[in-house]
Amino acid sequence: MKLQTLLIGVCLSSLNAMAAISNKEATMTAFIDENQTQAVQLLEEIVNINSGTMNFAGVKQVADTLIPQFEALGFDVSFEDGSAFDRAGHLVAIKAGGTGPRILLIGHLDTVFEPESTFQHFEKIDDHTARGPGIADMKGGNIIILQTLKALQAAGELKDMNVHVVMTGDEELSGRPLSLSKKALIDSAKWADIALGFENGDGNPKTANISRRGSVGWTLTVKGVPSHSSRVFSDKVGAGAIYEASRVLNTFYNELRSEDLLTFNPGKIIGGTTVTHDQTSNSGTAFGKSNVVAETAIVTGDIRAISETQLKRVKQKMQSIVSDSLPQTHSTITFAEGYPALAPTDGNKALLNLYSKASEDLGLGAVVAVNPLNAGAADVSFTSAHVDMAIDGLGMSGADAHTVNEVGNLRSLASQAKRAALLLYRLKTQE
């Protein structure tokens, strides 16, 4: 589908605002309301399955629970093994050969709560709120995807649509290399025209993401000349590794923090006469004395940029800063592979306008864009180079994700599914 076609559709939609939702749309919303109890039951079932990223059996069990649901909707479903990238794998469901735009729906099966966590079970707090590991991030979003598709089926609209669903098993802790761990997602993105992510966003149903900053790790390694501290700053000894690491970090702070929508954070520093650094466990050790000039310093951190252009510029600036070492020291910086940025394109803005219009027609109010400073990296970003338009944050409203206090708003299962169902229906019919 051409981007221009949808942009024209957005304009026509705003000029010819619907007085009410159509009969087909009413059928879909009624189905979602009538099946809310079953949706909550399925949500409880998968929340009660521990699927911490490294619990491969649990991730696969969540997939096995959801696969029959997609098969009943006529999808060809598979579980793609993740052993090549040291993760459980991904659920991929495909319905192709129909008419209209090619749409990719994105979820994830894993959570941050491994089997040793004390937080393991679904708990109803009141009629509208439940607590549980991954309930909002993002098992609720997975249920919303299913409810959306079931509603389209109930209205007779799913049978000839083009839809891929990819639910990754490693969103919370990606396998490496990313070229393998994200291949299923990227392959579907290359096929698709439009990508919709059902993460929980900022937890507010009045917002959605048209952009997400990318996330790239970096490691600064500094070497100095070890010596008695009385000789620090001398011509032969120079400044030492810790002073040099401090110079680099301070210059990063002074020269880069004015970049719009950019953050860069040093999360760990190790320095002294001898150091060890375990990248796998993100830990290390240091030995040093106050009367010895430090020989080694290691700093690790991340960069979050709004576009690949900004990221490239910042990397070059960091390299330049690092290369200007203090006397008798030498610094190097390396960058890891990471999540790309989802830039706020015109196509993404147009798609949000369609989603917001659907929400308003349902009486649920307008939906506006999340400030990208309030949104972390997510799987939808891997679609950015391939689709005409994408938005994220269409999942379950909630709070305190990644903590033992994580809660989800059960009413949002229905409201978010209604919004998504109308969006998909309108994308299909205005083509």
Contact 115, 177 (CB under 8 A): no
Q: How do beta strands 296-304 and 263-272 pair?
A: antiparallel
Per-residue burial over 219-237, b if 16 or more Cβ lie within 10 Å, else e, is bbbbbbbbbeeeebeeeeb
Phi/psi class of residue 226: alpha, beta or left (left: φ > 0; alpha: ψ in -120 to 50)? beta
| Alpha-helix residue ranges (DSSP H) falling in 220-345 | 241-256, 308-323
| Cα 238 to Cα 240: distance, rounded to the nearest angstrom | 6
Spatial distance between the Cα atoms of 135 and 402, rounded to a whole number of angstroms:
10
Residue 192, helix vs strand vs coil: coil
Give the per-residue pLDDT at 431.
Answer: 53
Cβ partners under 8 Å of residue 422, min gap 6? 21, 25, 28, 29, 358, 361, 362
The answer to whether the CB of 352 falls within 8 A of the CB of 391 is: yes
Asked if residues 88 and 96 have their Cβ atoms less than 8 Å apart, the reply is no
Tokens representing residue 328 in the block: 């008798």
The single-letter code of the amino acid at 274 is T
Nearest to 103 by CA among 164, 42, 157, 169: 164
Q: Where in the chain is the domain with CATH 3.30.70.360?
A: 216-335
Which of these, 377, 417, 413, 379, lies nearest to 140 by C-alpha position? Answer: 413
Q: Which backbone phi and psi does 79 adopt, to 5 degrees? A: -115, 110
CATH superfamily, domain at 3-212+341-429 = Zn peptidases (3.40.630.10)
What 3-state DSSP class applies to 178?
helix
Instruction: Give span(s): CATH 3.40.630.10, the chain.
Output: 3-212+341-429
Q: How far is CA 168 from CA 62, 108, 178, 307, in A?
A: 11, 4, 12, 23
185 with 93: CB under 8 angstroms?
no
Torsion of CA 306, 210, 93, 177, to 10 degrees: 10
Calculate ∠ Cα 291-294-295, nearest 5°. Answer: 135
Residues 6+ apart with CB under 8 A from 385: 189, 340
Residue 1: predicted pLDDT = 46
Say whether domain 216-335 belongs to CATH 3.30.70.1150.
Answer: no
| Amino acid occupying residue 376 | G
Helix, strand or coil, per DSSP, at residue 159: coil
Residue 277 has φ and ψ, to the nearest 5°, of -145, 120
Query: Beta partners for 218?
Result: 301, 335
CA distance 273 to 358: 62
Q: In which residue ranges of the chain is pLDDT below 70? A: 1-19, 431
**69, 41 contact by CB (below 8 A):** no
Model pTM? 0.89
Conformation bin of residue 33: beta by default, left when phi > 0, alpha when psi is -120 to 50:
alpha
Residue 209 burial class via C-beta count within 10 angstroms: exposed 0-12, middle 13-18, buried 19 and up: buried
Q: What distance in Å separates the CA atoms of residue 319 and residue 131, rounded to the nearest whole number?
A: 45
